[in-house]
Amino acid sequence: MSDLINSSLRELSAALAAKKISAVELATLFLDRIDRLNPGLNAFIALDRDKTLTQARAADEALKVGAGTTALTGIPLAHKDIFCTKGWRTSCGSKMLANFVSPYDAHVVEKLAAAGMVTLGKLNMDEFAMGSSNETSYFGPVKNPWDVSCVPGGSSGGSAAAIAARLAPAATGTDTGGSIRQPAALCGLTGLKPTYGVASRYGMIAFASSLDQAGPMAKSAEDCALLLNAFAGFDARDSTSLERPTEDYSRDLEKPLSGLRIGLPREFFGDGMDADVRAAVDAALAEYRRLGAITVEVALPNSGLSVPAYYVIAPAEASSNLSRFDGVRYGYRAAEYADLAEMYSRSRAQGFGAEVKRRILIGTYVLSHGYYDAYYLKAQKIRRLIAADFQEAFKACDVIMGPTSPSVAFAFGAKSADPVQMYLSDIYTISTNLAGLPGMSLPCGFGNNNMPVGLQIIGDWFGEAKMLNVAHQYQKATDWHTRMPRLAGAAQ
């Protein structure tokens, strides 16, 4: 049974269909593993065995009757704590929501539950998804299962650590500037941020609404395709959800790659990338050439501006979104205050952590009278230049590749003293969010200290099926995505 922790979703589905294991047994297998290993990792911040097993029993019932089941019925997964989950504490990694039990389900949660998936629990994250190392969570940092002295990346660090440690077969994540891809890279997983508008943001606690997007995190591209099939699609409750025909994201997985044109932006292969990351990425590109792809150099001349532009736009949107946390309708309220104004400012001072407050203050400043044009409007114009670069590049290639992160996972505290250094961890991922393009990361080897390296694939708008095909073919030829860390106390 222990091999099930390393099984693909398709294998788990087959085991459930063949009655080799029940949904209750499968959920119990992972819950027991979580009990044993999570204290050393801090990936899960909410667990409820009764709720999980109730959902698993319902899945077993459906599997027995054989009606209304999908390929995912009975398979467990866990949700990043940014997704409202009915009856579950939904904290967004913040003291502000430490007592918030959601009265409703996010669209993504609802769709995955409707597909029969079983919720194992809620996953730790950087507070309000603001961070690249999971060190900003009110509930303490998540440890990287490959080396517990290193960060798992962020903000979906709990999702990444949980899958890497095989505490869950799959998880949900969100990506505003790299929050799915960077932790996937740092923990040796596959993660996909879809095109903006493909997955509904309903019930996903907002950070920067023009950039936020939900996506799947799992061991392989094939798993990600199955998950995306279950939760992508139009939802009228999100005003930016796109009305498009339903897609089968697995449809192209088996297509051969001969003739595939891979664009390599020269800006992604400069001095910023560590030598060990470059070696792993170069080896992956050599593998792609062996699989019949050709590589062409492309240019993204404005990509160097993506981090500064992002740190105007994202905080501006955050300062607006997070104004809803006022200690009136939900969330933390300070114990002592003289009047309404002080109740607001004290509740927010005590309920938000340092990085969240920094971003609200920056966002408020760039939107304030006299500075709006100089900062916010300027950044939006540069955003258009960055997006236009990609469209020019896609004239010469089908997908773009490069590193996901400039380095492998770094030690706790290495970047937390200097916000700008931390922001630069997302230098290769942020431009994709600004342009609204889909991006993914897949494991492509190991670098310094035997830590995982991620290869990034960027597609054109709605290129998810193509990207998953490109990733799947690589994963058929390599086995990086099957490697798992050796954990103290774990029976491997």
Partner 1 sequence: MSLNLEDVARIALLSRIELSAAERESTRDQLNGILGFIEQLQAVDTTGIEPMAHAVDVVQRLRPDVVTETNRRADFQAVAPETEAGLYLVPRVVE
- Residues marked as catalytic: 80, 155, 179
Indicate the residue among 34 and 437 with the shorter CB distance to partner 1. 437
Q: Residue 152 or 327: which CB sits closer to partner 1?
A: 327
Instruction: Give whichever of 220 and 431 is closer to partner 1, judged by the CB atom.
Output: 431
- Please tell me whether the peptide bond between 156 and the residue prior to it is cis, using omega within 30 degrees of 0: no
Rounded to the nearest whole angstrom, what is the least distance from the CB of residue 102 to partner 1 in the complex? 8
Sheet harboring 261-265: ordered strands across? 44-46, 118-123, 76-80, 170-175, 213-218, 190-193, 439-446, 452-459, 399-403, 261-265, 294-298
**Would you call 408 exposed, middle or buried from its count of C-beta atoms within 10 A (0-12, 13-18, 19+)?**
buried
Tokens coding 6: 């390393």
State in angstroms the smallest separation of the CB of 381 from partner 1.
4
Cβ 456 vs Cβ 428: under 8 Å: yes
Instruction: Specify the amino acid at residue 370.
Output: G
**C-beta neighbour count of 337 within 10 angstroms:** 15
Q: What angle in degrees, to the nearest 10, is found between the helix axes of 221-231 and 9-17?
A: 70
Q: Which residue has the tokens 């009305």?
A: 243
Instruction: Specify the residue, 262 or 312, whose C-beta has the smaller distance to partner 1.
Output: 312
What's the CA gap between 474 and 249, in Å, rounded? 17
Q: Which amino acid is at 146?
A: W
State the alpha helices, DSSP H only, in 271-367: 275-290, 306-321, 340-351, 354-367
Q: Which two tokens stand for residue 389?
A: 């670069």
Q: Which residue has the tokens 């990086």?
A: 480
Instruction: Tell me whether residue 450 is exposed, middle or buried, using C-beta atoms within 10 angstroms of its C-beta: 0 to 12, 13 to 18, 19 or more.
Output: exposed
Residue type, 369: H
From the list 153, 121, 95, the residue with the least C-alpha distance to 27 is 121
Contacts of 97 (CB under 8 A, 6+ apart): 90, 91, 205, 330, 331, 332
| CB of 434 vs partner 1, minimal distance in Å | 8
Query: Terminal CA-to-CA distance of the chain, rounded, Å?
Result: 11
CA distance 306 to 386: 7
CA-closest candidate to residue 440, choices 130, 241, 266, 182: 182
From 226, 232, 262, select the one nearest 246 (Cα to Cα).
Answer: 232
Q: Which helix (H) or strand (E) holds 451?
A: none
In the complex, minimum distance from the CB of residue 395 to partner 1, in angstroms, rounded to a whole number: 20
- Cα separation of 38 and 63, whole Å? 30
Closest CA to 453 of 315, 212, 278, 249: 278
Maximum alpha-carbon separation in the chain: 70
> Within a 13 Å sphere around the CA of 189, how many CA atoms are in the beta-carbon half?
41
Q: What is the spatial distance between Cα 184 and Cα 426, in angstroms, rounded to a whole number?
A: 13
